[in-house]
């Protein structure tokens, strides 16, 4: 039975976050972009919505919400501002990693921190400038007594160097690629971890994205994440599938924002005695934009409901491309007004590009789509890139 209806709880959550985005996020879009962060008041207000441990299973103290519900939240936040969506969702980066990569004791120990405080930040650090994460890392972990010593520099990390908890991937067995990778939770204040340079960005400025440096950072054995019952590569695959889905949902929200703005603007703006929206070329463009938004949303919902990796990859690829098209068309339909900062449309074009570059990138999602169709893993897909359901 196929249903495109939301249940009552989902409708309430959707409405709640829509209101939050309208009241807290959209009005501060430029201020947060300039400040390079969202305000602590907004973090507290978001925390009070009770969405802190949304996707964490109930047995582990979370709300146990479905991926569809999480996607609804992301669409609304993305509609408000994609940069704020990334910043406000940061604890979920770590909770999602712990759900997929940690064991129950680790989950309980670390989740409580995000449950109790509204301004705690999370980070997941894998990218590096010198290596591609698909092949392994130059950041290394060496066994030292009861724990590990981590050394290396991570780049492009949301909340890099300022998070309360940072999940770090490092090479424990050099030369074995993903077979030799380990993951650890580094807690703020552990000696040997420090903030590196903050990156200047094309978009998503409200999210703090920076390098984080490990210089003999000692991490105890109990902070090592072993990937749950299916091992680390499978857990990582599931983690990135979740991340791709949430990014896709944000792209839907961003695209909806751009479409609605262009729809309103072109009905106000007049040429030759009528609104420009009444010229067929403009009207058709609006129709194409709406098709992109709707199709992207349905694909995200389907993938969230099925949790199948090939459907996640398809939804992610489509959402990235659709949002880029819609934001580009919105700039075009506004003419000069689309290119100036008096309106948010130019920002959406910059932000959608940044979202498409977060892991897994658009190309890697396409690679997964092609792998599914061809029936075998292609070179350079995410570790263990055979197509598996996310839920086993
Ligand atoms: C807004 C933003 C937020 C981010 N947040 C984080 C974060 O929190 N933590 C973190 O660790 N990193 C983060 N990143 C980094 C991001 O995950 C990486 O940039 C991304 O994974 C690509 O890795 P790379 O930059 O090393 O590109 P490379 O691996 O060098 O790839 C270069 C290009 O080649 C493509 N490519 C690579 N391999 C293949 C292949 N096999 N087939 C086809 N194309 C391929 C890539 O898609 C890309 O276009 C963020 C980036 C951005 C823009």
Query: Are 271 and 366 part of one and the same domain?
Result: yes
**SS3 label, residue 212:** strand
pLDDT in tens, the chain (392 residues): 678 899 999 999 999 999 999 999 999 999 999 999 999 999 999 988 988 788 888 888 888 999 999 999 999 999 999 999 999 988 888 999 999 999 999 988 998 887 776 678 999 999 999 877 667 899 999 999 999 999 999 999 999 999 999 999 999 998 887 789 999 999 999 999 999 999 999 999 999 999 999 999 999 999 999 987 778 888 888 899 999 999 999 999 999 999 999 999 999 999 999 999 999 999 999 999 999 999 999 999 999 999 998 899 999 999 999 999 999 999 999 999 999 999 999 999 999 999 999 988 878 888 888 877 887 766 655 544 433 434 33
| Ligand 1 nearest atom to the CA of residue 93, by list position | 8
Query: Cα angle at 29 between 265 and 11, to 5 degrees?
Result: 80
Nearest to 42 by CA among 206, 284, 213: 206
Q: Evaluate whether residue 109 is within a structural domain.
A: yes
Instruction: Determine the atom of ligand 1 nearest the C-alpha atom of 128.
Output: 26
- pLDDT value, residue 382: 52
Whether 127 and 226 map to the same domain: the answer is yes
φ and ψ at residue 41, rounded to 5 degrees: -60, -40
Alpha helices (runs of H) in 23-66, residue ranges in sequence order: 29-35, 40-48
Instruction: Give the whole-number percent of the chain exceeding pLDDT 70.
Output: 94
**Residue with CA closest to ligand 1 atom 15:** 156
pLDDT of residue 344: 97
Asked if residue 120 lies in contact with residue 110, where contact means CB atoms within 8 angstroms, the answer is: no
Q: Are strands 165-171 and 122-125 parallel, antiparallel or unpaired?
A: parallel
Mark whether 116 and 200 lie in a shared domain.
no
- Which pair of structure tokens corresponds to residue 59? 């047995």
Spatial contact of 326 and 355, defined as CB atoms under 8 Å apart = no
In a domain? residue 160: yes
Q: Which of 87, 92, 358 to mutate to test the pocket of ligand 1 (most atoms within 8 A of CB)?
A: 358
What residues are in contact with ligand 1 under a 6 Å CB criterion? Answer: 124-127, 132, 134, 154, 156-158, 204, 209, 354, 357-359, 361, 363-364, 367, 379-380
How far apart are the C-alpha atoms of 4 and 168, rounded to whole Å?
38
Phi/psi of residue 153, nearest 5 degrees: -125, 130
CA of 242 to the centre of ligand 1 (A): 16
Domain hosting residue 20, numbered range: 8-120
DSSP SS3 for 158: strand
Same domain, 255 and 327: yes
DSSP H or E run through 282 = helix 280-306
| 202 inside domain | yes
- Supply the residue whose CA is at minimum distance from atom 20 of ligand 1: 359
Beta-carbon contacts of 108 under 8 Å, excluding residues fewer than 6 positions away, are 60, 61
Protein residue whose Cα sits closest to atom 16 of ligand 1: 358
pLDDT digit string, tens, across residues 320-355 = 999 999 999 999 999 999 999 999 999 999 999 999
- Say if CB 345 and CB 331 are below 8 A apart: yes
In a domain, 186, yes or no: yes
Tell me, yes or no, whether 49 and 91 share the same domain.
yes
Give domain status of residue 13, yes or no. yes
Q: In this structure, are 312 and 328 located in the same domain? A: yes
* Residue carrying the six token digits 């249903």: 3
Q: Does any domain span residue 385?
A: no
Which pLDDT belongs to residue 385? 42
**Bridge-partner residues for 141, per DSSP?**
150
State the CATH number of the domain containing residue 215: 2.40.110.10
- Residue 338, Cβ neighbours under 10 Å: how many? 22
- Let me know: does 373 contact 222? Beta carbons within 8 Å: no
Output the domain CATH number for residue 84: 1.10.540.10
The reply to whether 207 and 152 lie within a common domain is: yes
- Residues 110 and 146 reside in one and the same domain: no
Domain count for the chain? 3
Does 179 lie in the same domain as 57? Answer: no
């Amino acid at each position: 039975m196929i249903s495109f209806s939301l249940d009552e709880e989902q409708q309430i959550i959707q409405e709640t976050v829509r209101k939050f985005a309208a009241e807290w996020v959209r009005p501060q879009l430029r201020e947060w972009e300039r400040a390079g962060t969202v305000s602590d008041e907004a973090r507290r207000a978001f925390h009070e919505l009770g969405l802190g441990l949304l996707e964490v299973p109930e047995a582990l103290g979370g709300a146990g919400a479905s991926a569809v519900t999480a996607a609804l939240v992301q669409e609304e936040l993305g509609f408000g501002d994609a940069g704020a969506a990334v910043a406000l969702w940061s604890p979920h980066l770590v909770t999602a990693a712990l759900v997929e990569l940690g064991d129950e004791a680790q989950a309980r120990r670390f989740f409580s921190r995000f449950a109790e405080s509204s301004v705690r930040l999370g980070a997941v650090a894998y990218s590096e400038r010198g290596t591609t994460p698909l092949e392994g890392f130059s950041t290394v972990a060496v066994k030292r007594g009861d724990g590990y010593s981590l050394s290396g520099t991570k780049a492009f990390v949301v909340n890099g160097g300022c998070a309360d908890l940072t999940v770090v991937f490092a090479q424990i067995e050099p030369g074995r690629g993903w077979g030799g990778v380990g993951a650890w939770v580094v807690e703020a204040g552990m000696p040997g971890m420090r903030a590196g340079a903050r990156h200047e960005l094309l978009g998503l400025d409200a999210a703090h994205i920076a390098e984080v440096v490990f210089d003999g950072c000692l991490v105890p054995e109990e902070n090592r994440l072993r990937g749950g019952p299916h091992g680390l590569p499978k857990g990582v695959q599931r983690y990135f599938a979740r991340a791709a889905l949430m990014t896709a949902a944000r792209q839907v929200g961003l695209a909806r924002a751009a479409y609605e703005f262009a729809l309103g603007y072109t009905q106000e703006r007049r040429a030759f005695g009528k609104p420009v929206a009444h010229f067929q070329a403009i009207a058709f463009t609006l129709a194409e934009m709406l098709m992109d938004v709707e199709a992207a949303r349905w694909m995200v919902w389907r993938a969230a409901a099925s949790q199948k990796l090939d459907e996640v990859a398809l939804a992610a690829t489509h959402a990235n491309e659709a949002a880029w098209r819609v934001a580009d068309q919105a700039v075009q339909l506004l003419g000069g007004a689309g290119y100036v900062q008096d309106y948010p449309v130019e920002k959406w074009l910059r932000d959608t590009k940044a979202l498409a570059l977060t892991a897994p990138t658009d190309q890697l999602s396409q690679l997964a789509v092609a792998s599914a169709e061809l029936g075998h893993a292609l070179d350079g897909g995410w570790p263990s890139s055979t197509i598996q359901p996310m839920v086993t």
